[in-house]
């Protein structure tokens, strides 16, 4: 019983660390976040923090694992609850936007890792996340074409790039404006344009 409680306590502490890093990333450059700052945000000493993570890279890997798990799960729920492929695409788009609005530090961390010149494990994790996300979109776009919802001549790869790029553009605009929550409103208007583009004469 005591061992189980200790294990759960460690897991909870790791989850709290992840949340602290994401919160810090919303207010500052993720590359500038130190283990001292993380420990301070959590009300711990660095020594206590390192009992759960051997180094800063291990913390970053835990954060990226958390992001991938939560974002992909949210996207899957959104898609699975939609009646059509086109409705699923919109649900995924809005679910992703809502995730960003709730966790504004996440895109800052992802962008930061993709800018690293080295082929680090965190960078590979971000690339893997984008790859899995893209696979989900390809499936929905192909299903939409097969159902006659989308333009039969639609370039699926281009549509995937535009979908992801559109969200990234919304995030950047919101960050420049200093108001990430505006992404919720802007997303609906922007998706309507995307929807018309991929539907063509299908509707």
> What are 116's two structure tokens?
């690293």
pLDDT digits (tens, 9 = 90+) for 131-182: 999 999 999 999 999 999 999 999 999 999 999 999 999 998 888 888 887 8
pLDDT at 200: 77
Please check the confidence at residue 201 and state whether its pLDDT lies above 70: no
- Phi/psi-derived region of residue 21, left when phi > 0, alpha when psi is between -120 and 50, beta in every other case: alpha
CATH of domain 56-199: 1.10.357.10
147 φ, ψ to 5°?
Answer: -85, -5
Q: What is the mean pLDDT of residues 8-16?
A: 74
Q: How many CA atoms lie within 13 A of 172 on its CB side?
A: 8
pLDDT digits (tens, 9 = 90+) for 95-145: 999 999 999 899 888 888 877 777 888 888 888 999 999 999 999 999 999
């Amino acid at each position: 019983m005591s061992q189980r409680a200790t294990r759960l306590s460690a897991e909870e502490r790791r989850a709290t660390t992840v949340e602290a890093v994401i919160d810090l990333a919303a207010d500052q450059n993720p590359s500038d976040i130190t283990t001292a700052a993380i420990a301070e945000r959590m009300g711990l000493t660095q020594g206590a923090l390192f009992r759960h993570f051997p180094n800063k890279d291990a913390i970053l890997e835990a954060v990226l694992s958390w992001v991938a798990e939560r974002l992909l799960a949210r996207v899957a729920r959104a898609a699975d609850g939609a009646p059509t492929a086109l409705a699923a695409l919109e649900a995924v788009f809005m679910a992703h936007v809502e995730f960003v609005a709730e966790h504004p530090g996440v895109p800052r961390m992802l962008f930061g890792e993709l800018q690293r010149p080295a082929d680090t494990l965190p960078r590979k994790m971000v690339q893997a996340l984008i790859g899995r996300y893209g696979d989900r979109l390809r499936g929905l776009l192909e299903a939409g074409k097969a159902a006659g919802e989308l333009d039969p001549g639609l370039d699926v790869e281009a549509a995937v790039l535009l979908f992801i790029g559109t969200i990234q553009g919304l995030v950047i605009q919101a960050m420049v404006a200093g108001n990430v929550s505006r992404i919720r409103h802007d997303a609906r208007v922007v998706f309507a344009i995307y929807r018309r583009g991929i539907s063509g004469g299908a509707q």
